[in-house]
Amino acid sequence: MQRGKDLSDFPIQYIKGVGPQRVKLLSRLGINTVKDALYYLPYRYEDRSNLKKISDLRYSSVETITGKVISAEIIRLPRKNLKIFELTVNDGSGLLKGKWFNQPFMKKNFKVGQEVILCGTVKRNPYWGIGFEMDNPEYEILNNTVETPGKSQFRQSGDDSLIHTNRVVPVYKATSGLSVRQIRSIMFNLIHFHIEDVTDPIPAEIWKRNGLPALSESLSGVHFPDTNADIEALNRGVSDFHRRLSFDELFMLELGLALIKKGKVIEKGTAFKPDGILLKKLIEILPFSLTKSQEKVFNEILGDLKRPHPMNRLIQGDVGCGKTVVALMAMAVVAECGYQSAFMVPTELLAEQHYFNIHSTVEALGLKICLLTGSTNTLRVTRDALRSKIASGEIDIIVGTHALIQEGVIFKNLGLVVIDEQHRFGVMQRALLRKKGLNPDVLVMTATPIPRTLALTVYGDLDYSVIDELPPDRRPVQTLLFSSKHKDTIYRLIKEEIKKGRQVYVVYPIIEESEKTDLRSAIMGKNAFEKYFSDFRVGLIHGRIKAEEREKIMASFKHREIDLLVCTTVIEVGVDVPNATLMLIIHAERFGLSQLHQLRGRVGRSSHLSSCLLISYEPYGEDARRRLDIMVRSNDGFMIAEEDLNIRGPGEFFGTRQSGIPDLRIANIIRDASLLSLARKEAFSLIDKDPYLKSSPLLRKALETFWKGKIELFKTG
Ligand code: ADP
Ligand code: MG
């Protein structure tokens, strides 16, 4: 292979030990080029430099042993409907059994007389209480290797005893037809013969300044660490080698974000010059005074609006902190200057709600507002009529779903886009706006508070404000966990609340029962509650009810014509009925943590004390128990979001695909939060100095590859 060749263009079949058959198998693992292979990291490491004798094993610890197979058979337990494959291994000091449950096909992998390695948790035999066993151990077949004890060396390639034993060995995800052992051999050759060909796109001063090792050293260390490596750090993915590779990935991510952000700063936008009269009037009409936090954040927004570049700001704030009014103030400023605003939310129900909540205030200011959703036709006004009013500039504020922008609505002069309750309105969607030639100021609001460093990734291209205080009259919602046995208590609590003149939500996980699950459903619940509380007015709302009908139902709830509203998660975000003070969540074990917090945010929106009753049905798993426990303990959205992130992991949490951020394959933004800050600092300062990366063509190329298809970089460079 030529020196300095780009390894991402270098097909894997040129590597020693890789023929056409293996090319196919490797491609199943996503490995097509030498570079893919180098970045196919072990998911686990095993210390085989110092294998234990079976007779020296300790119960309950994870151990690795090696020995000869003396029997391999399937045991049937017909009464339990079980087939167990049992492998018995002897290492001269004792016997150990590996057991695989209902995987009879395992038998064909083993033969008596083979040398094997097994790794797993050591257990006693459950009946005898003695002996050594492992359930579903990781295994490897050592063909005819002769064990040569001694120091591991990294010189002679192809010598099995140096690759697969007597060292800390990497364990890779394998695929049928290609064993861990074969992959390890391929990797060994790859590292041994080609590591010198790796070119490092990242300027040396950057990784050196952050105390990280060189790239080739890191790649070789991450696959074949030497014997004295810290195996625990390797297994957690935080060895120096891992840190270097994670840093690279985060650095590429932040470079892209820095470019997007920088691009926006240079872009021309509207510098609004309000005289402040409308704003003053609005503040006068409001039935409350703003919190300090709302004022601070609004002033940041106002600063952005006055600047001649497009605003791109994210407002984070827990449910109920009062984001809507801040958005309304921004829209008033923009309207005063003669521009239009689009207020976009994730669902039609929410669009209707918002329209509903703000239209009288907006109209009192002398402004025109309209609701434009998929079902607008049914609201007595035709879509076409509205569209032409929007195009002529007659309407100042348009409320709708996120589809507003995609649907090709023509605006006279769109000055501001507010995106509410959507942490998934990603880089891509924002880029789409600009592609349409619109360059409005953009305000994104989210009630899923996330820790600052993480916000800097997902929203790394945005400025960032936090409303970190609730209106002063709020009292924390008290949250109680019940099992289904406590029906009487629950019914009594509902009755008391409604008698006080308050209203109640009852949330179900599904609309209608089905044969597939035995979950309780909203329709079922509505009937039951109607029967039980015959003198209360019970309503029902869910996603299959037509928008027009839903709007009527929400309106009656708001006007206190319904006492108890049975619903699904359609009410999850944004719905605002301050007189509702009790929420019952049925099958609470079924909901995600952020979702539960959002739902709970529908109560506690006034000075009345509110409660949230979580009703759970056994059996449920450990994660569900943790979620319920956190909900009972905490009302703090930041803390809850962090726990949610811990339970679910970042990919799930952010819905990475929708956010438009390239997938992270090595780094983990929770585990590597401090690396992320370093990478961000370096990336932003580099882009400041050298916006087109003219001084590092290699880096520029690597960056384009990393963000490929995601975002147009260097448009003007
Ligand atoms: P969120 O931030 O969850 O979107 P909203 O904007 O829906 O919250 O506000 C929640 C409720 O609090 C609304 O009824 C709103 O009118 C009210 N509210 C907003 N700001 C204040 C304030 N400063 N004082 C009292 N109530 C407020
Ligand atoms: Mg809101």
The pLDDT value recorded for residue 10 is: 82
pLDDT for 151 beyond 50: no
Report yes or no: 427 and 461 within 8 Å, Cβ to Cβ.
yes
- Atom 19 of ligand 1 has which residue's CA nearest to it? 322
Give the helix, strand, coil percentages of the chain, each rounded to 5: 40, 20, 40
The pLDDT value recorded for residue 376 is: 59
| Tens-digit pLDDT profile for residues 209-244 | 999 999 999 999 999 998 788 999 999 999 999 999
pLDDT for 362 beyond 80: yes
Give residue for tokens 């869910």.
542
- Of the pLDDT bands very low, low, confident and very high (cuts 50, 70, 90), residue 144 is very low
User: In sequence order, which ranges of 111-179 are alpha helices (DSSP H)?
Assistant: 160-163
The Å distance, Cα 372 to ligand 2 centre, comes to 18
- Of the pLDDT bands very low, low, confident and very high (cuts 50, 70, 90), residue 712 is low
Question: Could you give the strand order of the β-sheet that contains 340-345, starting from the edge strand earlier in sequence?
Answer: 369-372, 397-401, 340-345, 414-419, 441-446, 312-317, 463-467
The pLDDT value recorded for residue 155 is: 35
434-437 contacts, C-beta under 8 A, 24 or more apart: 434/267, 436/405
Mean pLDDT of 126-148: 76
Give Cα 344 distance to the centre of its chain.
22
- Of 416, 427, 422, nearest to 261 by C-alpha is 427
Q: Helix, strand, or coil here: 621? A: coil
Spatial separation of the C-alpha atoms in residues 392 and 411, rounded to whole Å: 8
Strands (E) located in 59-178: 62-77, 82-90, 95-101, 115-121, 133-135, 138-141, 168-171
Structure tokens given for 639: 């803390």
Spatial separation of the C-alpha atoms in residues 128 and 137, rounded to whole Å: 20
Mean pLDDT of 257-275: 79
- Of the pLDDT bands very low, low, confident and very high (cuts 50, 70, 90), residue 149 is very low
pLDDT for 449 beyond 80: no
Mean pLDDT of 503-521: 89
| Tens-digit pLDDT profile for residues 570-615 | 886 667 899 999 999 999 999 988 889 989 999 998 889 999 999 9
The Å distance, Cα 150 to ligand 1 centre, comes to 70
Mutate which of 295, 315, 421, 576 for ligand 1 pocket (most atoms within 8 A of beta carbon): 576
Is the Cα torsion angle 295, 300, 306, 310 positive or negative in sign?
negative
Residues touching ligand 1 (Cβ under 6 Å) are 288, 290-291, 294, 317, 319-325, 447, 471, 576, 578, 605
The pLDDT value recorded for residue 157 is: 40
Structure tokens given for 115: 């040398």
Spatial separation of the C-alpha atoms in residues 513 and 511, rounded to whole Å: 7
- Of the pLDDT bands very low, low, confident and very high (cuts 50, 70, 90), residue 458 is low
| Tens-digit pLDDT profile for residues 545-577 | 887 788 789 889 989 999 999 999 888 666 789
Structure tokens given for 21: 């058959």
- Atom 23 of ligand 1 has which residue's CA nearest to it? 290
Q: What is the DSSP letter of 178?
A: B
- Of the pLDDT bands very low, low, confident and very high (cuts 50, 70, 90), residue 452 is low
Spatial separation of the C-alpha atoms in residues 488 and 486, rounded to whole Å: 6
pLDDT for 319 beyond 60: yes
pLDDT for 522 beyond 70: yes
pLDDT for 429 beyond 90: no
Q: What is the mean pLDDT of the chain?
A: 86
The pLDDT value recorded for residue 619 is: 86
Least confident of 39-43, 368-372, 673-677: 673-677
Mean pLDDT of 201-205: 95
Q: Is the pTM of this model over 0.75?
A: no
Longest dimension (CA), the chain: 92
Q: How much is the CA Rg of the chain, to the nearest whole Å?
A: 31
- Between strands 82-90 and 95-101, the pairing is antiparallel
Report yes or no: 57 and 89 within 8 Å, Cβ to Cβ.
no
